[in-house]
A and B are shown apart, each in its own frame.
Chain A
């Protein structure tokens, strides 16, 4: 019964999106207002059907209705309710259903937000969105089918993948990732509309950039949450491994970041419109490529779901989207003529070009490293990893160059700068660079790359803080009170600019924290008996006891480790091994004690409660917490600049 209702909701979504895509294209081609109104209604219907189908699945998961195939596959009587809800995206079919929810939500909201605006572009955009939506509805109706009827109805199910129920972060990371990935459909539709109409006016660059920045924000948070999850759950003490699927989420982030910058230059100077549109299309294509990577089994990864007909189907969609994008660009890019020029001199404009160059280079580097093993595999039947050494060697210089650029670019004035202006802009932040480097050197940092990252970080932070301060200072000079100047410059008038610099500040801290945490950590491995001690960094660790804990959905063996530093007791940390029902291999959960500058990270390598012995991996990871905090700052800055300003809300 539930399964049949779900199937019908999926069919309704497929019908609404297919008809909507056709009606929308026709309305756009003919300029029909009636057609446009019907396109909107069909978009809302599509959104409603997807929301309802997902609501139904969540209800079935909570009710443990094992007559629905997906519930029989991932549900279990023994899991808590939050795990039951999270199961929606824990396995292949459910995650595609969830994709449908997100695309439905985006299409519904974006259509509604632009219902009275940009009438020459919007029918095209909505038609493209619905065409993408139709594809996912088709996946759900055909190859994926989460709503099959199971008969006879099983009494219980196996529960979701234990790695996914091991930590609450797993409940948060995938939704953010989907909001980032799927959200790129919206700028893709807008960019396609610009190409189809052959225009990309100043008025339309604004929504393009806004609708790109929204999923970009989610994607940024998602990538870092993924790293955080790996850090808190996987127990090897790191947060990024250049896993193909991590790369899959990083690639569209790189092109989207490039597009945000080139769109700003397009908006300001009327240049690079074709390039901006290309980057937006590429971002969407990379999200589909990433989806294909995760869902096809072509890549070997912790993230990969099982092989199925879904992979080839996504591949067909990828090829269609690639063909569509290339054809559209080849036919229409010449219409998006530049209205201005970029000064061929040192200044902020030209550094925007360097920024784009670096981001595109970064994209190709990561893409090559991800796909090259596949090429070798195809040609020589070889399965291999290019691995961390390649990525680290390439990414470190690129990341550090981008960090410097983030300082030098905003420091310089727009257009052509005189040599004197250049000096005035670029010399003072050297103070910040010197200060940070000196402090770091005093604290014992010796590695040249780390020091370079810290120096550039100091430089960039000084420039960024000055840019944040400047409008405030101008208002103060005009006699405004501090509070009023702060609110006006930060949140009312210059919101977009203010938010962007907050994002820059966060990004600079993230890069510096990555540089420090990946080079300045210490680690120690020890085999301990109860009562024995070991030392890592300044911490003394005492193995106090082994406990066995029984929870409804898992058994755990927990090591109690007393922590002290300089004779002061800091408490007890409890890294553990979890044993899930119906799962052979135990899964460790590390214990992390965070302080302002460093994390003490304890992970169980092996543990035996009978003999009371513990293999302990202990690490001191400096500044890891700064990555999470600075990402929150980036997201905050991004949200500030996303809230529509007065100019936008005026009709």
Chain B
């Protein structure tokens, strides 16, 4: 029996990475990660809120912790974490500023989503994803926790859950 080596190599080249990816995802914990940006001053931005009004600059938010959430309506994990973010923003009131940054989405879609799902804090329009690129956003949702001095204290990738939100807010200087 003759073996066609080219077919074997091509087949393995397609299949092996797939199998490796799937194996690595069996029984993973999606919430453990680090980021090179943590501990540095957050990149500045000036962005227009979706519902009009004055542009928001990062500098103007100094003085209390900021939760900067990159999200989109087409992203299922964003949908999952949305209620938690809204209720946290409502219950924490003035102690923390929550800011959404819209990632690769149409304004109309976002308006519809917020009308349906509720909104408690401004969502900013990020033309050309420039701010997302500056923060090194890889995919959505990603959430940055910025302390009162404007330094990135923590980063969360994937949908937030209550314990990580609390822990990371504490890292950003929120007293319990």
Interface residues of A (CB under 8 A from B): 241-243, 289, 292, 296, 298, 300-302, 311-312, 315, 318-319, 322, 325-327, 329-331, 333-334, 367, 371, 373-389, 523, 525, 605-606, 615, 617
Report if A326-B74 is in contact (Cβ < 8 Å); known contacts: A334-B4, A381-B157: no
Binds A, one of B6-14, B42-50, B119-127: B6-14
The listed residue (A319, A322, A374, A606) touching B21 by CB distance below 8 A is A374
Residue B72 lies at the interface, judged by CB distance under 8 Å to chain A: yes
A602 to chain B, nearest CB (A): 13
Docked complex: B19-34 residues within 8 A CB-CB of A: 19, 21-26, 28-33
Bound complex: CA of A311 vs CA of B140, how far in Å? 26
The listed residue (A322, A326, A374, A382) touching B157 by CB distance below 8 A is A382
Contact A377 B3 (CB under 8 A): no
Binds A, one of B59-67, B104-112, B163-171: B104-112
Contact A334 B2 (CB under 8 A): yes
Contact B21 A383 (CB under 8 A): no
Contact B4 A330 (CB under 8 A): yes
Residues of B within 8 A of A300 (CB): 76-77, 80
Residue B133 lies at the interface, judged by CB distance under 8 Å to chain A: no
Bound complex: CA of A333 vs CA of B12, how far in Å? 15
Residue B139 lies at the interface, judged by CB distance under 8 Å to chain A: yes
Report if A322-B30 is in contact (Cβ < 8 Å); known contacts: A381-B157, A385-B74: no
Residues of A within 8 A of B80 (CB): 300
Which chain B residue lies CB-closest to A243? B76
Contact B33 A617 (CB under 8 A): no
Interface residues of B (CB under 8 A from A): 1-5, 7-8, 11-12, 15, 17-19, 21-26, 28-33, 72, 74-78, 80, 104, 108, 111-112, 115-116, 138-142, 157-159
Contact A329 B7 (CB under 8 A): yes
Contact A388 B74 (CB under 8 A): yes
The listed residue (B15, B21, B29, B76) touching A301 by CB distance below 8 A is B76
Residues of A within 8 A of B22 (CB): 292, 298, 315, 318, 374
The listed residue (B7, B26, B78, B139) touching A376 by CB distance below 8 A is B139
Bound complex: CA of A76 vs CA of B77, how far in Å? 31
The listed residue (A318, A330, A376, A605) touching B138 by CB distance below 8 A is A376
Report if A371-B76 is in contact (Cβ < 8 Å); known contacts: A525-B115, A605-B116: no
Q: How many residue pairs between the two chains, A and B, have CB atoms under 8 Å in the bound complex?
A: 129
Contact B28 A382 (CB under 8 A): no
Bound complex: CA of A617 vs CA of B18, how far in Å? 41
Bound complex: CA of A382 vs CA of B116, how far in Å? 27
Contact A385 B138 (CB under 8 A): no
Contact B11 A330 (CB under 8 A): yes
Selected A-B contacts with CB under 8 Å, 6 pairs: A241-B74, A331-B2, A371-B21, A376-B138, A384-B138, A384-B141
Which chain B residue lies CB-closest to A335? B2
Residues of B within 8 A of A334 (CB): 2, 4
Bound complex: CA of A385 vs CA of B158, how far in Å? 9
Which chain B residue lies CB-closest to A386? B139
Which chain A residue lies CB-closest to B33? A381
Contact B74 A384 (CB under 8 A): no
The listed residue (B2, B33, B76) touching A380 by CB distance below 8 A is B33
The listed residue (B29, B33, B111, B142) touching A525 by CB distance below 8 A is B111
Which chain B residue lies CB-closest to A375? B21
Bound complex: CA of A126 vs CA of B7, how far in Å? 26
Contact B19 A322 (CB under 8 A): yes
B144 to chain A, nearest CB (A): 14
Which chain B residue lies CB-closest to A384? B139
The listed residue (B12, B19, B30, B111) touching A382 by CB distance below 8 A is B30
The listed residue (B4, B12, B18, B141) touching A331 by CB distance below 8 A is B4
Main secondary structure, interface of A, reads helix
Residues of B within 8 A of A375 (CB): 17, 21
Bound complex: CA of A300 vs CA of B25, how far in Å? 12
Residues of A within 8 A of B78 (CB): 385
B35 to chain A, nearest CB (A): 9
Residues of A within 8 A of B140 (CB): 384-385, 387
Residues of B within 8 A of A617 (CB): 112, 115-116
| Known interface pairs A333-B7, A371-B18, A387-B75; 6 further A-B residue pairs with C-beta atoms within 8 A, sorted by A's residue number | A302-B76, A334-B2, A376-B138, A376-B139, A387-B104, A615-B116
Contact A615 B157 (CB under 8 A): no
Of all A-B residue pairs in the complex, the 3 with the closest CB atoms, nearest first, are A384-B139, A383-B158, A378-B24
Contact A381 B28 (CB under 8 A): yes
Report if A326-B25 is in contact (Cβ < 8 Å); known contacts: A383-B77, A383-B157, A523-B108: no
Bound complex: CA of A523 vs CA of B80, how far in Å? 24
B166 to chain A, nearest CB (A): 19
Bound complex: CA of A140 vs CA of B74, how far in Å? 36
Report if A380-B138 is in contact (Cβ < 8 Å); known contacts: A312-B26, A615-B116: yes
Bound complex: CA of A434 vs CA of B69, how far in Å? 48
Which chain B residue lies CB-closest to A378? B24
B89 to chain A, nearest CB (A): 19
Residues of B within 8 A of A615 (CB): 115-116
B120 to chain A, nearest CB (A): 15
A300 to chain B, nearest CB (A): 6
Bound complex: CA of A319 vs CA of B15, how far in Å? 9
Which chain B residue lies CB-closest to A373? B139
Bound complex: CA of A305 vs CA of B38, how far in Å? 36
Residues of A within 8 A of B2 (CB): 331, 334
Bound complex: CA of A377 vs CA of B174, how far in Å? 29
Contact B77 A384 (CB under 8 A): yes
Which chain B residue lies CB-closest to A237? B112
B7 to chain A, nearest CB (A): 5
A337 to chain B, nearest CB (A): 12
Which of A302, A315, A375 has most B Cβ within 10 Å? Answer: A375
Which chain A residue lies CB-closest to B31? A381
Contact A319 B111 (CB under 8 A): no
Residues of B within 8 A of A380 (CB): 33, 138, 157
The listed residue (B3, B17, B108, B157) touching A384 by CB distance below 8 A is B157
Residues of A within 8 A of B11 (CB): 325-326, 329-330
A520 to chain B, nearest CB (A): 14
A19 to chain B, nearest CB (A): 27
Bound complex: CA of A615 vs CA of B116, how far in Å? 8
Bound complex: CA of A292 vs CA of B26, how far in Å? 11
Which chain A residue lies CB-closest to B116? A605
Bound complex: CA of A319 vs CA of B28, how far in Å? 19
